[in-house]
A and B are shown apart, each in its own frame.
Chain A
Amino acid sequence: MTLHSGEHKKIHDLHPEEAIAPGSALCAGCGGLEGIRLALKELGENVLIANAAGCFTLLSVFPFTPFKGSWLYTTMAAPVPAAQGVRDALDIRREAGRLAEEDDFQVMVVAGDGSSADMGLAPTSAAIHRHLDFLYFCYDNEAYGNTGFQLSGASPYGSATQTAPATAGHPAGAELGKKDLFEIWKAQNPPYIATVSPREPIDLSNKFARARGMKGARLFLCLSPCPTGWGFDPKETHTIAKLAVDTGIFPLKEYIDGQVVHTRVPKKRVPVENYLERQKRFRHLFEPTRQDEVIARIQQGVDSYWAHYE
């Protein structure tokens, strides 16, 4: 497929071709799947995906693969080192005259938030430090999804997971906050970081288009509404994703040339309640008794984030 250059302005500008075929073992309405679909439209076929254990491991189940490019399943902690090995080998072959121009490809890690924020973080930090030339797509469903939705380092305060359930003694459910991977990655000053949402395809596509031509570690955090784990009807995925942006809970931004730029700033932020109340994982904040304190703390977190930029 031929790739566009230049900014996309309307949905019609997006590539009509798909680099990922429909029909996989992932759940209906999986927000992360929509995110990677859009990303691959922009990146094209010449991509090898190094995958970490997680929901997306089920994209390629023998003897099928939905990808036009290559796939390598690794482990939960080591998709990035696999990307390192592949990239190094390609560079070695190129220098030795054993890699035809058309045989080169981009290497993209596809990992969940649990892998990214927890056991895969040290290897990722090391790869950024080594200036590894790779893309990183983290689909963030805010828990260990594949094992049945347990607490990960990216589970937000106030959400209920299987291992941080909401009880009378623990009305918030998850009492820890979400690790800020964007800031953690940023501390190492990679050439490009972006947050993306499947509900903002033009923003997402432009970000991948920008990163495509760059070298070095280019990292993406894709908020991935998860009907199964978050508890909503699959047809609501886009509503939830939109609310995440409109409430200001999930800021769309990029880090480029040492600057953080917000690419969509909600003009008037919708109260977080509107986002929370639609999801079963936050139901305990509303019934049987309303947890005003917890809701207020979530709202406060959002407000204080944006206060820095207003």
Chain B
Amino acid sequence: MNNGKRRMLTGNKAAAWGARRAGIEYVPAFPITPQTEIVETLAQWFADGSLKGRFTNMDSEHSMFMAAGAAAATGVRVFTASSSQGILYGLESLYTVTGWRVPFVMVNVSRALATPITLEPDHNDVMSTRDCGLVQLHAETCQEVLDFVLMGYKIAEHSQVSLPVLVNMDGFVLSFSREPVLIPDEKEARQFLPSFEPAQPVFNATAPLARASAVFGGGTYMYFRIQQDLAARHAETVFNETAKEFGERFGRFYEPVERFQTDDADLVFVMSNSFATKGKAAVQKLRRQGIKAGLLKISLFRPFPAEAVASALMGREKVAVIDQNLSPGVGGITYPEIVTALYGRPGAPKKILSVIGGLGGKDIRENEFMTVVDKLNDPEEKGPVYLYDEKDWAQFQALAKIARAEKGGP
């Protein structure tokens, strides 16, 4: 156990190492900031012979996800990665290949969506894939990125799942930040994840297959869709089995949700991805001030671990769901999912507040967690709360003034 090596790796490099240790054979690729370093690293490894198989430069993400699915349906272990506009551009293909029920792993390096165009992170890109049938693991650290990629293959290839797995990390915050990461020993990785043995039939001339045929009459369509739902739901059990095996082998244990000092907490922040680290620091600070705070981190976002969420939050008085995404006209996208998980349960929190913050690379500052606490304690506050304060407003006014001046305005 743990006879790997520890290195300083960016999230992107950690993703590439995860793929390498998974023994991937095929990467259809397309660049996009902040993901590009992943496919560049893999391209280098295919070119210098460290990886065997094919690296194919595709013409778009729509093409890339299609090639990924088709190759998985033909019996090879596939990895790919994207971000932001690439996810949107490829969305039709993502829905298509999840319906094919083929296993592969993709990494999304979260970046906010246009318009306005930016390179910096938030979660609207990954949320756009929320309903397309991917299993989703959201990483807080570079180590989690690597580990989730390895675990991802085991989950994706499980005979009762057979779905692509998306591993999410935040652009910049993880993708370009070096953290100490343990790269598992190759043999150990191979024991955990043996070579790809497709559970579903793959394309072979001696055993022809018609796949993804058209259906008529809603009944047939619904049958296949329910199958997809059952498979996705079952992925939670498979996640737990996989995490157990992974923990026993590598000493790092994962759960669908991480409870950080929630057990005796009065108020809990619900967060995901890298900003959970900031949330944990805020919790510790609040605790030092005598405020019993806690944090619930969602690691397995699809299937949604409703039971685990509910059991962590039941008995807590106040909950703030901090969404780094926005559905205009609704608010935070995960907020309703948390509320639904708690609905009708005895001991459900009295207050569940929707908080929107950290959009498009905006930081969530330490004092803003204090703001959240104040809002939780303010009986008048119904939400959603935007973590956007006077300072942010003043900053924008300064820019707006320049913009107006350019037009000859005041």
Contacts and interface: CB of A to CB of B under 8 A. Distances in A.
A89 B26 contact: yes
A14 to B, nearest CB: 23
Contact of A89 (B75, B209, B216): B75
A78 B62 CA distance: 7
A100 B206 contact: yes
Interface stretch (B48-56, B274-282, B291-299): B48-56
A154 to B, nearest CB: 21
Interface in B62-119: 62-64, 66-76, 78, 92-93, 96
Interface string B379-404: 00000000000000000000000000
A150 interface: no
Given A89-B74, A92-B53, A98-B75, A71 B209 contact: yes
Contacts of B57: 130
Interface in A106-156: 122-123, 125-126, 130
Interface residues of B, number: 43
Contacts of A80: 63
Nearest to A103: B204
A67 B66 contact: no
Given A65-B213, A70-B209, A123 B59 contact: yes
A63 B224 CA distance: 12
A73 B214 contact: yes
Given A70-B208, A74-B96, A126-B59, A84 B67 contact: yes
A103 B205 contact: yes
Interface string A44-85: 011010100000011011111101111111110110111111
Nearest to A50: B70
A68 B70 CA distance: 19
A84 B70 contact: yes
Contacts of B53: 92, 95-96
A262 interface: no
A81 B57 CA distance: 11
Contacts of B93: 75, 78, 81
A72 B208 contact: no
Contact of A75 (B68, B96, B206): B96
Interface of B: 25-26, 28, 52-54, 56-60, 62-64, 66-76, 78, 92-93, 96, 203-206, 208-216, 220
Interface of A: 45-46, 48, 50, 57-58, 60-65, 67-75, 77-78, 80-86, 88-93, 95-96, 98, 100, 102-105, 122-123, 125-126, 130
Q: Closest 7 CB pairs between A and B?
A: A85-B70, A89-B74, A126-B59, A85-B67, A81-B63, A65-B210, A85-B71
24 contacts: A48-B203, A60-B213, A62-B220, A63-B213, A70-B210, A72-B70, A72-B203, A72-B211, A73-B212, A75-B92, A78-B62, A78-B63, A83-B70, A84-B67, A85-B69, A85-B70, A85-B78, A86-B73, A86-B203, A88-B71, A89-B203, A90-B74, A92-B71, A95-B52
